[in-house]
Structure 1
Amino acid sequence: MAEAMELNVLGAPHESPEEEMEEREDGEQQKDNLPASPDSQLESESESDSDSDSDDEEQDKLQLQTLESELSFNPSNYDSHVQYIKLLRKMGDIEKLRKARESMSQLFPLNPSMWQEWAKDETSLSSGPEAVAAIEMLYERGVSDYLSVCLWCDYLNFIEEYDPSVRQCSVAGISKARSLFERAVTAAGLHFSEGSKIWEAYKEFEQAIFHAIDECDIEAKEKQVQRIRSIFHRQLSVPLADMLSNLLAYKAWEVEQGNSLDADSLDTNGIVSHVAAAYQKALDMYNARVSMEEQISSRDLSDSDRLPLFMRYLKFEESSGDPARVQILYERAVTDFPISSDLWLGYARYLDKTLKVGNVVKDFYTRATRNCPWIGELWVRYLLSLERACGTEEEISGVFEKALQCTFSSYEEYLDLFLTRIDGLRRRIELSGETQVLDYAVIRDTFQRASDYLSTNLKGTDDLLRLHVYWARLAISLGKDIVAARSVWDSFLKISGSMLEAWKSYIAMEIENGNINEARSIYRRCYTKRFAGSGSEDICHSWLRFEREFGMLEDYDYAVQKVSPRLEELRLFRLQQESKNIAASAEQRENPTKKNVHGKRKPGSELIDDQSPVKRQKNLGKPLKKGMKKDADKGQNLAETNTREEIEGKNNRSNRTHDKLVEESTNEKRRYTDLCTAFVSNISLQANYEHLRNFFSDVGGVVSIRILHDKFTGKSRGLAYVDFSDDAHLAAAVAKNKQGLLGKKLSIARSDPTHSNKRGSVGRGKRAAWGDQSSSLEGADSEDLSKGTSNRPLSSTAKNREDDSIELKGKNTFAAPRNIKPLGWSVNKPGTVGEEDGKPKSNEEFRKMFLKS
């Protein structure tokens, strides 16, 4: 320190405070300051060093307090542990440093450099017999965390230098050292780039023993030579980075032993044949791997680029079929990428496939879960490996509890962990003799913990259902308690009662155990519930099937009585939903620019959309405004025509210009007189305008086509009107009666509106069903070929539908639609004229047919 201070004094000039700086206007440099006296400079520097050291100490203390506070609040902060240890090492607080290192090693695996630093610090403090054992334990812990050739070399050097028995070459000491070298060779001797360091250290140790043997002991000398030669042979059979230099070293050593070899040649002439063959095989393996080794060892690549190269290398080694080489490469990979979950999982799968039992697998999972504790699959595999190794209940339970303290990325991982634990308990209980150690209460408690933890986040999922199905089944098979099983289901249904499969599973359990009445009571509880999709209908049909298979006649009748109104209610509800969806789709097609979510809507449109179908029909039958007239002479049909498409058309004009609005309100509406029209029935429900147009293409003269649709569902009713330009074309069209279209024979007849008008209306206020078409046809979409295609919205012209006098009789028929047919309904009733007679039907015959149906 004195010399350093003297150098500072002699070589570091200081400015004099008495001398002032003068500026020169001509830009010349400032005058040099005169050096201060040596005594004054030394005093000033000492004070500045003292102040600087004091400031550094204060900053270190503040930083130390901050890190201690952070670690007390969050002991899992890896970086804080590292900084804390570095700061304590800098400050020289040995006791705190030891505690800090111990605390960190309990939570995290330490990297090789941290273990080396720790062991060297302890070695520098003390090297007595007690200290040697403690430091040796540190090395043991270090080499178990990660693979490190350098750490193994430090460990071997420490034993040779500080272990008294090894240093004195006692029999016990030599045996201990050789055992340690063999462990090092097994752990790191196959390391492609650094493994030679272990082999060289091993040979040097054995050669030192050789030189320590008395020259007179020829037998011991020869035995030691054979030992060294064996190490050479083993090394030559391993593909290592410096294989050529190893061969030359071996040949030179053999020359020293008196054997005649060409020490400068790289061939294997003169070497024992089996050694030469092993060397050649290792050389071939070296050539196959050297390019991949160069890639993963490149310093120019980032970690993200090196990891895929490691994975490719691992696949190559796995395909070669040498477990030792695969394992050493995995160890190298996880050392370089300790928190890569893909690497640890791949390593785990490989070991489970090749080494299903043993301490190697157990130690591996201990390390894997310390490096990646957030991976649930590693913990699951850990539990399974302990079960395969016949681990104790205390050991397995401890690993399970430790796993529950980790933070996984999904609740499904926690579920898998719980199920794995339960699976193991079940298997052990079912084994003979284990019932004395374990009982069903352990499984029940584990199930309860799983349900309490997962129910909130997995509510309504199949995973949670699977857990409770398993629980209820084991409650019966192992616990012999059906009441407990029912309690499991009742608690589950409180949180997931909207799951159809939950009710079905509960019912299946009761049926499986022969409890038919209990299963029936569950059906009675759940058949009125609303389930997703078609689940509500499914549970009703399931009840009926159950009563057919297990119930008496009165049970079946009761189920039918309960289920039928429910099914009808569900059917009507779905029809209403379909009708709303179809109407919305049609409206969107007509005016795609209209916003119907949060946009403003006119009162008229809102009235139509929100009302029920029956009320909508009544409103459509009322005049929109008073004082509006109808000009019959000109055949105009103005805005007072009570059809839905006109109301919707009026509401959709808001985004058109004023001129267009006036023009549309005064246009004459198309009138259909049916004076030259064919009525077509028995049309396939898949047929559209294009199909009908093509069907009549050979006849020609088609003016327009109108297909009738159901006003609620929007589906085709299998009926259509086809207008022709003259009677000749109409007659030719009627002549095509009974010809097929899409697999169905069409019935074609001439429409006769005059015949219908003579009969008058059917019922009060009912217009002629198939006669006068002066207004838009009920439920029909039309295609006018004379003016191009014009598609009207579905559910159009609902006017006067409320006057259909269809009488419904029997129980719960107040809301039954017309297409509901009772049990035993016959399609062909007596007196019904079938299509097989080949005679075209008139409008009156069609009217009678549809009124009867």
Structure 2
Amino acid sequence: MSVRSTDSDSESDFSLIEDDDPVVTTNAVTELTNTTPPHVPYSLPLSPTKEHGEAVVAQNENHQIDALRDTLASNPYQYDKYVTLIQCLREHGCTAELETTRQAMQKHFGLSEDIWLAWLSDRTTQTTGADAKKKLLALYQTAVQDYLSINLWLAYLQAAMETYHTQTSSSEMENDSFLSLQDVRDICDQALLATRYHYPQGYTIFFAVRDFEMEQLLTITEDSADRENRIQRIDDLYQKQLSIPSPRLDDIFTDYSSFITTYRPANYEQIMVDTNRLVAEARIQTDRRERWETQLIESGHDFFTYRKYIHALQTSRTPVAPYEIATLYERAIVVHYLKPELWQSYAGFLFEDSTLRDKFVTVCARSVKNCPWSGQIWADYLRSCEMHPTSVQVDSVTIFEQAMCYFRSSPSLDDLVILCLEKLAQERRGCISTTPTADMQDMLRKSFRHYQGLVRELCQTHDPQFRLELYQIALETTVWQFADYARTLWQEVLHLRPTQVHVWIQYTEFEIRYGTIPTARESLVRALRVALDWPERLFDYSLTFEKLYGNMETAIGMTSKVNSARVAVEIRSQRMMAEQQEIEQQAEIKKERQRQRDRINKKRRRQKDRKQAQVSVTHAVEKRKRSPSEAERPSEASEEGGTLEEGLGNTTLAAKSGSTVVEEHPNPPLEKRPRYNEKRNLSAVDTVPASEDQSGESTANDTATVLVSCLHPSVRETELRDWFESCGPVKKVTLVRDMTGALKGYGYIEFLSPTSVSEALRTKHGQTLAGQTVTVHRYAATEADPRTVFVCNFLASTTSTQLQNLFATVGSVKQVRLPPTRRGKARCFAYIEFSTAADARKAVEQLNNYQWNMAHGALSVALSDPSKRHLPHGRPIPKTKNGRVLHVGNLPKSCTEDELRTLFNSFGTLSDVRLPKGLNLDQAKDFAFVEFRNSEDAERAQSALNGHIFEGQSLSVSVANPEKADASSHDFKGMVSQQSILPVQPSTTVRMTQFAQPVKLARLRQIFGQYGSVQRVHVNKEVSKVFVEYTHVAEATQAVEKLHNRVIDGSRIKVHFAAPKSQETTLTTPHQPATSAHTSVPTVSGMVP
């Protein structure tokens, strides 16, 4: 589910997991500098000067603003248009119109946190005087009503507290004072009530209010009643917060202990004993909430996870505060504000709880701003206003007009009918309050006619379920007892829906109850005469009707009519089947004619291609018979038929590879020309791609070659040759194999003529061969495809749909080519083709090194370059001994690169440390390679450390021998060819592995909190790594030094710095515009503050 604004990109280990919990920042919005002057009349200069260009730009921008105004005037329910207009007005410095536009947008939509903070920032810069500050605080009060936002509440509290401090500290403001201490406390109480049960971040509001109250307490030094009241207020704040589940419960309890020690030492023991009982129960609830919060994070704050979380709180055996459930609803709405069912569930919960019923109308009013297309949401709003008429400033007529303003521009039949039904029910309830008169009945009938006409006018059709008509019929018959008027309505319905069986049956039931049996029988007879959508049901109902209400004569008559109707139905069915068969036959005739035309065209193309091939061979043979001096000059026929290399040289190469293509004798007649040999004797050359021979030089005719991929493992060269023969004469078929001889799922088809390539691309791409869809592309061995990226290092179980969903976040994906997986051989690479080269570059920038699966390693994403396909990546592999590279053996399994660097750094400057990984990428092998800048340092390190005891094991240090490594294994080759691994730089985030299970976040916070202020703690999905973020690098450094290799809870943990921010790539949702969200909560998912 996307939001209307994207959060700023995070560059930490935690940016890859979503969370709706905001990060508390003091400067949440960066003010935009208005450099563009407001729109003023101007005259264009005659010459194209710089001023002329600026004037043209200004004119275009003014035209854009005018167009946006006109669009919103016709349809105000266009969120993105409002956002664009506000941005343009802000750039032009149109302050007055900007304020008006924001107010209009706030009237129709709930504004996101970003938009509110920008509005409040602009208003703050323009605020001077008491009246302006009062209006600013009123705007803050409006801002916090749209969505639950910790940042907005903090900004509101800060603005109120700063205003109060300014008033109390400045003598000039005494006459303009409007904000008292009680007013500030009222705002604090509102903030606490709204955010106290926000589990991840609610404690931040508590700390802000507590600090303010402590400041007020410190202003009174002498004992007095006022001082005691302030101490009691702080005590009450602590007591209330300590009874609520919170991730900072222990910290708050510790602060409370210090507070009691300072201000109530005499009763310290009794107070702490009583409070400890309260905290013990809160700890139990905190553990339960922690499990649900973890599920929310792992599911990416999924809608159904929120529903289960809410249901668990509502059905909990332990009583849960209604405000906690309401706060959880508010958190869900921040993410899933476009879910009408979530708003309806929230409103129903508020209505059922007497303590929260005063919020019922407010929530209904907010819901229509987020889901204006839902008729049920508008109906709930109408009912809430009818139930609490004094709680709203608008009446039902105004609300209905607001709804119609939306439906006139975007009509929806079902939603419009639901809204009209609720409005009619409201008008009917108004008549019930008094004795209904004929005038009231006529007024209601006019309303029915009006709304029925309204539905037909806006939707250009009738309601197929005729719900408004049925409601009026039920009202006429059941309440007012006007069966004759209801019968007239039934006739209108039957006229509109004459073929629907259920309509006739309902009308018959009406006549049975309010009319006569003969009239009901007559309606059934009428129905039997027309073509119906479900005739068998009507037949059965008619016979059952006679069994209940008829006699012998009527039963025989009805049976006869039913049989006649059955015959008529069979005749109609046979006629329709004959017509359908005629249509299918005509279609088949057209297809056969098209197939005949295709065969004729194919035959003509084949004859043309063969003729061209014969001419090419003839010219080549003649050229060989010339003298050496004549051979140097290309003949005119050679220029027409192709070069010597294309005409003769390729034939020779094909013969070498075992593909019999053309013979070097005079051309036989076409009808006696032998068919290309299908049973070729394939040699080892076929295992080499067409782009390379044994010498590494290109031998393929690039203009006549296609690359076919996604082949089934069972496909062989002969089958491919037969499949592509329909496109033109095939010169060579090459299926690429690996070192073991197994097929790799792709190959090359080289035609005799380049014209056959276009036919192959047109007729074979995307077709099915051996039960699998193959892809065909023009082969270009020396040119990179700027729109295609090569991705590897993902799980073998990954599907093309998963890859498409991942790469669609950065651009428009045109195709995903994932080679098939063979039994026992995992295939972990794919090609992603984008619509534009810009999207491909964006994918490389954002998804290269992306930790899609942290247990499997980072993705490798690069632009596809066929010319480098067979070249090794990274530095060249040395084939002789290099005195600068040492092989270090017999290492402990728990050894890390940082430990090796520390061990070898004392002997000289290191260039690289390479620690190979095993099948489990989280565990290293028992050997490594250490590379120095010069061989002298490497020699000293070898002499000193060979046999050195390291973590209980004797190291084996020697000069690395690549030739020996090649003969025995590929470890050294693989490691030397890798790109240099940058050393992990100190950062605010550390990573812990090899810890005891199960993991408890409270225990982790206790361990790491000894060395600094822990901001966030995250456990990855596989529960194999823990990431801890500190406020400062020095705190993280101390944690690494103190905790690394320590035994905690029975396990020796490993603590290192996490990857530096410059190497992190954050995955956001770029397909959503930054201004299209309801929420701008900065998310750092997976973090539990």
Q: TM-score band, normalised by the shorter chain?
A: 0.5 to 0.7
Where does residue 371 of structure 2 map in the other structure? 372
Where does residue 81 of structure 2 map in the other structure? 80
Secondary structure of 2:145's counterpart equals helix
Bigger Cα displacement from structure 2, 435-444 vs 524-533: 435-444
Structure 2 gaps of 5+ residues are 1-48, 591-1089
Candidates 153, 156, 180, aligned match of 2:187: 180
CA RMSD across the alignment: 4.3
User: Is the Cα contact below 8 Å between 1:233 and 1:275 reproduced in 2?
Assistant: yes
Q: Deviations over 1:193-212 (max 9, x none)?
A: 32222222222332333233
Candidates 417, 420, 440, aligned match of 1:418: 420
Pairing 1:377-526 to 2, within 5 Å after superposition: 377-389=376-388, 395-407=395-407, 411-430=413-432, 432-433=433-434, 435=436, 439-454=440-455, 463-464=465-466, 466-479=467-480, 481-514=482-515, 519=520, 522=523, 525-526=526-527
User: Is the Cα contact below 8 Å between 2:164 and 2:184 reproduced in 1?
Assistant: no
Distance of 1:403 and 1:539 partners within structure 2: 42
Where does residue 57 of structure 2 map in the other structure? 59
User: Is the Cα contact below 8 Å between 1:511 and 1:519 reproduced in 2?
Assistant: yes
Pairing 1:239-388 to 2, within 5 Å after superposition: 239-257=245-263, 259=265, 271-293=271-293, 296=296, 307=303, 309-320=305-316, 321-354=320-353, 358-388=357-387
Q: 1:276 to 1:436 in 2, by over 3 A?
A: farther
Where does residue 112 of structure 1 map in the other structure? 113
Paired AA for residue 259 in structure 1? P
Secondary structure of 1:439's counterpart equals helix
User: Is the Cα contact below 8 Å between 1:181 and 1:202 reproduced in 2?
Assistant: yes
User: Is the Cα contact below 8 Å between 1:193 and 1:240 reproduced in 2?
Assistant: yes
Q: 1:545 to 1:355 in 2, by over 3 A?
A: same
Report deviation, 1:286.
2.1
Instruction: Select the structure that is richer in strand.
Output: 2
Distance of 2:167 and 2:86 partners within structure 1: 33
Q: Deviations over 1:267-293 (max 9, x none)?
A: xx7643332111122222222223544
Q: 1:356 to 1:424 in 2, by over 3 A?
A: farther
Q: 1:195 to 1:166 in 2, by over 3 A?
A: farther
Where does residue 204 of structure 2 map in the other structure? 197
User: Is the Cα contact below 8 Å between 2:257 and 2:272 reproduced in 1?
Assistant: no
User: Is the Cα contact below 8 Å between 1:510 and 1:518 reproduced in 2?
Assistant: yes
Pair 1:70-2:68 in alignment: yes
User: Is the Cα contact below 8 Å between 1:527 and 1:539 reproduced in 2?
Assistant: no
Q: 1:183 to 1:548 in 2, by over 3 A?
A: same
Distance of 2:438 and 2:150 partners within structure 1: 45
Distance of 2:556 and 2:461 partners within structure 1: 34
Q: 1:561 to 1:373 in 2, by over 3 A?
A: same
User: Is the Cα contact below 8 Å between 1:459 and 1:496 reproduced in 2?
Assistant: no
Pairing 1:119-268 to 2, within 5 Å after superposition: 119-162=120-163, 167=168, 173-213=180-220, 215-216=221-222, 218-257=224-263, 259=265
Q: 1:239 to 1:68 in 2, by over 3 A?
A: farther
Q: 1:119 to 1:517 in 2, by over 3 A?
A: same
Distance of 2:302 and 2:562 partners within structure 1: 64
Q: 1:165 to 1:584 in 2, by over 3 A?
A: closer
Report deviation, 1:363.
0.5
Paired AA for residue 103 in structure 1? A
Distance of 2:148 and 2:230 partners within structure 1: 30
User: Is the Cα contact below 8 Å between 1:380 and 1:417 reproduced in 2?
Assistant: yes
User: Is the Cα contact below 8 Å between 1:529 and 1:536 reproduced in 2?
Assistant: no
Distance of 1:207 and 1:499 partners within structure 2: 75
Distance of 2:178 and 2:587 partners within structure 1: 92
User: Is the Cα contact below 8 Å between 2:417 and 2:455 reproduced in 1?
Assistant: yes
Distance of 1:356 and 1:516 partners within structure 2: 55
Q: Deviations over 1:80-125 (max 9, x none)?
A: 3223222322332211211221122122111123222222322221
Distance of 2:540 and 2:454 partners within structure 1: 32
Secondary structure of 2:535's counterpart equals coil
Distance of 1:57 and 1:308 partners within structure 2: 54
Q: 1:234 to 1:526 in 2, by over 3 A?
A: closer
Paired AA for residue 318 in structure 1? Q
User: Is the Cα contact below 8 Å between 1:188 and 1:198 reproduced in 2?
Assistant: yes
Distance of 1:447 and 1:105 partners within structure 2: 33
Report deviation, 1:543.
7.4
Paired AA for residue 205 in structure 2? I
Secondary structure of 1:506's counterpart equals helix
Distance of 1:435 and 1:192 partners within structure 2: 54
Q: 1:560 to 1:474 in 2, by over 3 A?
A: same
Report deviation, 1:232.
1.7
Secondary structure of 1:145's counterpart equals coil
Distance of 1:433 and 1:361 partners within structure 2: 27
Distance of 2:156 and 2:82 partners within structure 1: 25
Q: Deviations over 1:533-592 (max 9, x none)?
A: 23564576477568738xxxxxx96x679757634533444566799999999xx9xxxx
User: Is the Cα contact below 8 Å between 2:501 and 2:535 reproduced in 1?
Assistant: no
User: Is the Cα contact below 8 Å between 1:167 and 1:173 reproduced in 2?
Assistant: no
Report deviation, 1:138.
0.8
Where does residue 570 of structure 1 map in the other structure? 565
Q: 1:194 to 1:438 in 2, by over 3 A?
A: farther
User: Is the Cα contact below 8 Å between 1:251 and 1:261 reproduced in 2?
Assistant: no
Q: What's the TM-score, normalizing by structure 1?
A: 0.53
User: Is the Cα contact below 8 Å between 1:472 and 1:485 reproduced in 2?
Assistant: yes
Pairing 1:19-98 to 2, within 5 Å after superposition: 59=57, 62-74=60-72, 75-98=76-99
User: Is the Cα contact below 8 Å between 2:455 and 2:462 reproduced in 1?
Assistant: no
Q: Deviations over 1:221-242 (max 9, x none)?
A: 2222122212122222222232
User: Is the Cα contact below 8 Å between 1:203 and 1:231 reproduced in 2?
Assistant: yes
Report deviation, 1:476.
3.9
Pairing 1:634-673 to 2, within 5 Å after superposition: none
Aligned length: 524
Report deviation, 1:360.
0.5
Q: 1:90 to 1:595 in 2, by over 3 A?
A: closer
Q: Deviations over 1:493-521 (max 9, x none)?
A: 22112233333433443443355676566
Report deviation, 1:186.
0.5
Distance of 1:496 and 1:360 partners within structure 2: 44
User: Is the Cα contact below 8 Å between 1:379 and 1:403 reproduced in 2?
Assistant: yes
Paired AA for residue 427 in structure 2? L
Report deviation, 1:366.
0.8
Distance of 2:209 and 2:578 partners within structure 1: 88
Where does residue 842 of structure 1 map in the other structure? none
Secondary structure of 2:499's counterpart equals coil
Where does residue 675 of structure 1 map in the other structure? none
User: Is the Cα contact below 8 Å between 1:296 and 1:310 reproduced in 2?
Assistant: yes
Q: Deviations over 1:603-625 (max 9, x none)?
A: xxxxxxxxxxxxxxxxxxxxxxx
Q: 1:392 to 1:570 in 2, by over 3 A?
A: farther
Structure 1 gaps of 5+ residues are 1-50, 263-268, 550-555, 589-593, 602-853
Distance of 1:595 and 1:530 partners within structure 2: 24
Report deviation, 1:367.
0.8
Where does residue 103 of structure 1 map in the other structure? 104
User: Is the Cα contact below 8 Å between 1:358 and 1:389 reproduced in 2?
Assistant: no
Distance of 1:458 and 1:363 partners within structure 2: 34
Q: What's the TM-score, normalizing by structure 2?
A: 0.43
Instruction: Select the structure that is richer in helix.
Output: 1
Distance of 1:76 and 1:112 partners within structure 2: 19
